[in-house]
Amino acid sequence: SQQGEEDPQALSIQEGENATMNCSYKTSINNLQWYRQNSGRGLVHLILIRSNEREKHSGRLRVTLDTSKKSSSLLITASRAADTASYFCATERMDSSYKLIFGSGTRLLVRP
């Protein structure tokens, strides 16, 4: 069963704009990870945020985590056409055996 739900399901922006994707989950977690997937390809790990962290940065990526609201957001600043992909959040639940449970993803289109 899916643990996380991303919002929006699809997002279309102009190159240079910022893109924000949200993820909500249901149970307590150890950590939350964001992945990117180009069409027909495997998943690329972007960033991991632990349950005791509130914000992390990596290059143009900024991730926040609010465990009280069971939600996370991924911000991509100054987007590029090459950022066009599907983005998934995945959670490692506290009762989990180290597996990740994925949401259904946000499809991002960055128009040049």
Partner 1 sequence: DTGVSQNPRHKITKRGQNVTFRCDPISEHNRLYWYRQTLGQGPEFLTYFQNEAQLEKSRLLSDRFSAERPKGSFSTLEIQRTEQGDSAMYLCASSIALGFSGNTIYFGEGSWLTVV
Rule CB under 8 A: say whether 57 interacts with partner 1: no
Q: Which is nearer to partner 1, 83 or 92 (CB)?
A: 92
Whether the Cβ atoms of residue 44 and residue 34 lie closer than 8 Å to each other: no
- Window of 13-21, 55-63, 68-76, 96-104 that interacts with partner 1 by CB under 8 A: 96-104
Tell me, residue by residue from 31 to 50, as one string, x for binding to partner 1 by CB under 8 A and - for no binding. x-x-x----xxxxxx--x-x
Query: What residues form DSSP beta bridges with 74?
Result: 21, 63
How far is residue 26's CA from residue 34's CA, in Å, rounded to a whole number? 16
Residue 15 or 51: the one with the smaller Cβ distance to partner 1 is 51
Query: Can you tell me which of 25, 91, 92, 108 binds partner 1, judged by CB under 8 A?
Result: 92
Work out whether 30 is an interface residue with partner 1 (CB under 8 A): yes
Q: How far apart are CA 65 and CA 10, in angstroms?
A: 21
Residues that bind partner 1 (CB under 8 A): 2, 4, 30-31, 33, 35, 40-45, 48, 50, 88, 90, 92, 97-105
